[in-house]
Each structure stands twice: as structure tokens, then as C-alpha cells.
Chains A and B, each alone.
Chain A
Amino acid sequence: MNREIYGKLVFELSRPGRRGYRLPDNHIDPCAAPQGGEKAPEIPASLLRQTPPDLPECDELTVVRHYNNMSTNNFGVDTGFYPLGSCTMKYNPKINEEMAGHKLFASVHPSTPETSVQGCLEMYHTLQAALSEIGGMAEFTLNPFAGAHGELTGLMVIRAYHDSRGDSGRCKVIVPDSAHGTNPASAAVAGLEVVEVKSRPDGTVDVDDLRPLLDNTVAAVMMTNPNTLGIFEKNIPEIARMVHEAGALMYYDGANLNPMLGMARPGDMGFDVMHINLHKTFSTPHGGGGPGSGPVGVRAGLEPFLPNPRVIKTDGADGKPVYKLSVAPDALGSVSATLGNFAVQARALSYILSLGREGLMEVGPLATLNANYVKESLRDDYLLPIEGVCKHEFVFDGLRDKSEHVTTLHVAKRLLDHGYHAPTIYFPLLFHESLMIEPTETESKETLDGFIAVMHDIAREARETPDLVKSAPHNTPVTHPDDTAAALHPVVTFDQL
């Protein structure tokens, strides 16, 4: 793309008098209203804006070309391999987009009475039932808008449950030190205190460290399984038993659910509450960071605490199912003004139907195969801190040979030069040079082999021509944007430029 011509901001393309719209004629003649009707009071000028906002004035082609060109400065799953650990950047099938944008769904107002939106409610109920089957839970709410929102909702379910039993002294959540930052942040927002439990050298939760932390002040233990290192928590049955004996609940962060598809269910592991990131496991597009969807599931007995409203299935007079909205007195309250991100839910259901039970059973094993294949192929050049099979992802602690001081950041930036998105870097915090790779099940062996070859090349360059790696990237649309300057003197609008 020619940045000189096309690299402008939309405000720089604006010309007074241009426009990119025409509104429909509504045929309303204000004088033609029937006699005797009520007239509204005039709006006082003091309640109106005195000058119009300075928004762009552009014709349609200018807008289309502007954003189209901008898109070419972006990298998505459709562009190339995106092994961003913990994010499950799998292929987003096109049929899902078509189903989500279905004209007959796109125009439905969320306040339409339930008898007129039976199709929408059936979709909601069908998806929640499918997620319940996959998660091993009794019921799901699809209302939460994203993974973090699901975590918050799930923790509120747990608090509502303890409160309902008069067990209100439970103010702590135990979180492994390997957890994603969102877990402790969600706990804090839900008004809970965070207690960290240590990991053992193999990356799993230290049961002996956990035991003394469990008492009647603990509301829940929040875990992912496999954890953020891609390691399955083998002791999960024992941990669940200990936690339940202490009267606390087990929360499953569904960020890493993908490798469990077809193999094991969180409900069977002893988890009581879980959320699922539909934009990870169920292939709804990440959209540059959103919109997501974070359904929350609960084991039998916890349904009354789910947020209002729930969608329930009842028998109609003619034997056909009738879907209704239900509001429960013990519910935690409501976390959304609507039934969640409906169009995202539609994509997930489209994906589940397309895969079917046969396809869903293959997701976990193939994702795990791809991850182990990449891990075993690169461990000669990259430091593998934890031995053994991983699940859908794994973490290297940087290059094995650190003599030239080539860091994980350098490796990540060099990958951009080769047309790959970088893995997740510097997370988890357990290692100094974390490089977290998640290939997902939709990548072919050729793609993985290509990536492996480039990673080996970079390791060789790090020894032979380290400056080439350290100064990467070299052929991206921009190079080394100065983020220190951006944080020191924030320029967050065009007016501040």
C-alpha cells in the first residue's frame, strides 16, 4: 500500500460538502396530521447542541477505499498462521458469518415479546443445551458478553450461592500464580480477595500449598485445565474433593477448553461453575479483540443463581415446545440488558452444527497433536522448561542459546518478517522469557512445518547474525513504534496530534 497517498486518517480525507448517505423519504408532512391530536412541547434551544460535531464529510468510495486500505495493514487468521498462545486462533468458517448476519435475525428488536421471537429463543436454548453437554454442566446462561464478563458472572453465581446458605464469610478466591491477569481482576471486581497458590516445578498446582489455604473464608478456587502452561492438572479430582470438603466451589476458566473437546468435561472433573469463550473454542471471529461471548455454565443445583433472565423450554398446548423468559428470585441479578451477543451465539451454534458430534470429538486431539508436534520439533533450539505431553499449547523459556542476548521479544518480532503472527510473549509470568505457542487444530502439517523451519532459521540467525534478529521487524508496514513516547505524552485523539 502507498502510505503517502492512502495512509491518511479519515479526518484528513474529509471535505466540506461531501456526503456518503441519502436518507429514505418518510412521506411525512407535518401539517397533514389529523386534527385534535396532541402536540409535543418544543425543544428549548438550551437543550440542543449549538455547533454540530466535527465528523468526517466523505463520499462513499473515499470511505470504502480508506478502510479497505487500512485492512491491508492488519494480520488475521485468514491472512496467515496465528499461533497466539491462550487465544485459540482457529479458522472461522464463512458459513457462520452468513448465519449470524441472517436478515431475519438482524432486524429483531431485543424487546420484542417472547411469543414473537420463538426462533431466537429456541436458538439460545439449543446452544445452551449443547454447551451443557460439552461442558458436563446442568445449564448455561449465554448472557455474558465476553470471557472476562463470564468470569465475573460466574464468581457472582458463587457468591449468590454462598449468600443463599447464610455462608457469607467467604470472601476469598484462590487463584494459581500461573493464572491469567483477568482471573484476579474479575475476583476483585466481584468484591473478592485474591489468594495465590503456588505452582510446582512441573507447572501444576501444588496440592500441599493449597491445602492449608482452604477454610471457611474461601468462596472458590479458580483454575484453568489444562493450565496456562498447557499442562493438564492431574490432581484435579483430589483438588476438587478438598475444595468441596472445605465448602468452597470450583470455578473453571474456559480459556483453555479447546484440547478437552472430545476427551474430557469440566463437569466430570469436579468443577461447579465454568465459562466458555465462544470466540476461542467455538470459532467465532475475534474481531480485533471483540465482540466475544462468555456463556457461564453451572452444575445441577446452582441454576437458580444464574443471571436474569434465563430462557426456559416449556410444553405448549399442542405439545410443541414454547420458550419463555424466566426471572428467578435467588438470581445474582442481571449482568446485561439483553440476552447477550446473539449474533455471536448464532455463529457458535452454526459451528457446532457444522462439526457435529463427530467433528467435535476430533477438535481436542488434533489441537493437542499439533501443539506437541511443534513442541517436539523446536525443543532443540528453544528451552522447554517442562517435560512431558502438553495439551493445546506449550511455553518455551526463550532460546536455548542466550549467549547473544536475543530475547523472546526479538524472536517474536522476527517472526513478523516471515509472515507469521507472533506467539504470546512474556506470559505466563512463571518464566522470564515465556514464548507461548498454540497452533490449533485447523492448521495443516505443511503450515506447521513452514513455521518450524522459520523458528529454526531465527535460532540460527540469533547465533550468526544476532543484530538482524534484534532489529526486527524489517518489512512490516511500520517498524518499532515508540510506545514509551506514546505513554509519556498520550495522544489519544486526532485533535491532540
Chain B
Amino acid sequence: MIRFSESHEYVRVEGEYGFIGVSDYAQKQLGNVVYVDMPEPGDELEQGEDFGAIESVKAASDLIAPVSGEVVEINEALADNPRLVNQDAMANWIVKVKLSDPGELDNLMDEAAYEAFCNKG
């Protein structure tokens, strides 16, 4: 199951874990990603709060947590090669969290709704 936020983050849910990243639409808007500022394993994310930032040469965007939960893993590959986000935003998640409230997923959009949201804006 995959869900999207209005601030263009996605969460792909696998069991009790969620993989959070930015959408393909977001990476296109940013252009060449040069840096991803990630939290540390053990940090607690709260839905709607920033947990890091993603930067291109001339833009920066806060990463807003689509769901709450504890960070169990960060995608270390992005530290060395942030451009992976441009190559495949959906495959290259940023953090893996243990969901603390799966009910929050109901506040998010599914793929079809998100596509409509992007087309509107």
C-alpha cells in the first residue's frame, strides 16, 4: 500500500513499517538533488512535522513526515549519491519508520487521488 501527502512525500507500507520518500513529482520540481538531510535512527517522527530537508542547487524543501513513528533505518546510499532520488524517487526511500499510528494513513491520498492533486496544482 502506498499513500501520499499534500507536501509530496509518500509512505509505502510494508507490515508495521513505512518507507518514506518524496514523490516523482517532487523530485522533478526540485531538479538535480545535491543533498538529503536525514534524521538519525531512533528519532521520532510526528505526522505533519519536518524531519529533514532535501536540497537542489538553488532550492530546498523541508521533508514533512506523512506518518508518525520511530526511525529504524535511513537510506545511507543517499548520503553518497543523492541523485538516486532523481533516478527513481519511489525506489529510493529516505527513511524507514515503525508506524506508531496506522490510522494516520487515512489522512493521506492514494495514488489516483495524488495524481489528480498534482494535475490540479
Contacts of B55 in A (CB 8 A): 487
Closest to A489 in B: B34
Per-residue 0/1 for B80-109: is the Cβ within 8 Å of any A Cβ (1 yes, 0 no)? 001100000000000000000000000000
Closest to B33 in A: A488
Interface residues of B, CB < 8 Å — how many? 7
Contacts of B82 in A (CB 8 A): 488
Closest to A483 in B: B57
12 A-B pairs with CB atoms under 8 Å apart are: A483-B57, A484-B32, A484-B34, A484-B57, A487-B34, A487-B35, A487-B55, A487-B57, A488-B34, A488-B35, A488-B82, A488-B83
Q: Tell me, rounded to whole Å, the shortest Cβ–Cβ distance linking A408 to chain B.
A: 13
Instruction: State which size class the interface on A falls in.
Output: under 10
Q: Tell me, rounded to whole Å, the shortest Cβ–Cβ distance linking B13 to chain A.
A: 32
Contacts of A488 in B (CB 8 A): 34-35, 82-83
A residues sitting closer than 8 Å to B (CB atoms) are 483-484, 487-488
Determine the distance from Cα of A351 to Cα of B102 in the docked complex, in whole angstroms.
66
Determine the distance from Cα of A221 to Cα of B57 in the docked complex, in whole angstroms.
31
Determine the distance from Cα of A483 to Cα of B34 in the docked complex, in whole angstroms.
10
Determine the distance from Cα of A483 to Cα of B82 in the docked complex, in whole angstroms.
15
Number of A-B contacts (CB under 8 A): 12
Q: Tell me, rounded to whole Å, the shortest Cβ–Cβ distance linking A38 to chain B.
A: 53
Closest to B35 in A: A487
Q: Tell me, rounded to whole Å, the shortest Cβ–Cβ distance linking A137 to chain B.
A: 36
* Beyond A484-B34, A487-B34, A488-B34, 9 extra complex contacts between A and B, CB < 8 Å: A483-B57, A484-B32, A484-B57, A487-B35, A487-B55, A487-B57, A488-B35, A488-B82, A488-B83
Contacts of B35 in A (CB 8 A): 487-488
Contacts of A484 in B (CB 8 A): 32, 34, 57
Determine the distance from Cα of A484 to Cα of B32 in the docked complex, in whole angstroms.
7
Determine the distance from Cα of A484 to Cα of B56 in the docked complex, in whole angstroms.
8
Determine the distance from Cα of A487 to Cα of B35 in the docked complex, in whole angstroms.
8
Contacts of A487 in B (CB 8 A): 34-35, 55, 57
In chain B, positions 28-56 with a C-beta closer than 8 Å to chain A are 32, 34-35, 55
Determine the distance from Cα of A488 to Cα of B33 in the docked complex, in whole angstroms.
8
Q: Which 7 A-B pairs have the closest CB atoms?
A: A487-B34, A488-B34, A484-B32, A487-B57, A483-B57, A484-B57, A484-B34
Determine the distance from Cα of A487 to Cα of B32 in the docked complex, in whole angstroms.
10
Q: Tell me, rounded to whole Å, the shortest Cβ–Cβ distance linking B80 to chain A.
A: 10
Contacts of B57 in A (CB 8 A): 483-484, 487
Contacts of B32 in A (CB 8 A): 484
In chain B, positions 54-89 with a C-beta closer than 8 Å to chain A are 55, 57, 82-83
Q: Tell me, rounded to whole Å, the shortest Cβ–Cβ distance linking B50 to chain A.
A: 14
Determine the distance from Cα of A71 to Cα of B35 in the docked complex, in whole angstroms.
33
Determine the distance from Cα of A90 to Cα of B12 in the docked complex, in whole angstroms.
55
In chain B, positions 5-38 with a C-beta closer than 8 Å to chain A are 32, 34-35
Determine the distance from Cα of A488 to Cα of B34 in the docked complex, in whole angstroms.
5
Determine the distance from Cα of A483 to Cα of B55 in the docked complex, in whole angstroms.
13
Q: Tell me, rounded to whole Å, the shortest Cβ–Cβ distance linking B61 to chain A.
A: 14
Determine the distance from Cα of A37 to Cα of B34 in the docked complex, in whole angstroms.
62
Closest to B31 in A: A484
Contacts of B34 in A (CB 8 A): 484, 487-488
Determine the distance from Cα of A484 to Cα of B35 in the docked complex, in whole angstroms.
11
Determine the distance from Cα of A223 to Cα of B42 in the docked complex, in whole angstroms.
43
Determine the distance from Cα of A487 to Cα of B57 in the docked complex, in whole angstroms.
6
Q: Tell me, rounded to whole Å, the shortest Cβ–Cβ distance linking B28 to chain A.
A: 15
Determine the distance from Cα of A487 to Cα of B34 in the docked complex, in whole angstroms.
6
Contacts of B83 in A (CB 8 A): 488
Contacts of A483 in B (CB 8 A): 57
Determine the distance from Cα of A454 to Cα of B74 in the docked complex, in whole angstroms.
52
Determine the distance from Cα of A228 to Cα of B55 in the docked complex, in whole angstroms.
26
Determine the distance from Cα of A69 to Cα of B57 in the docked complex, in whole angstroms.
29
Determine the distance from Cα of A488 to Cα of B84 in the docked complex, in whole angstroms.
12
Q: Tell me, rounded to whole Å, the shortest Cβ–Cβ distance linking B43 to chain A.
A: 23
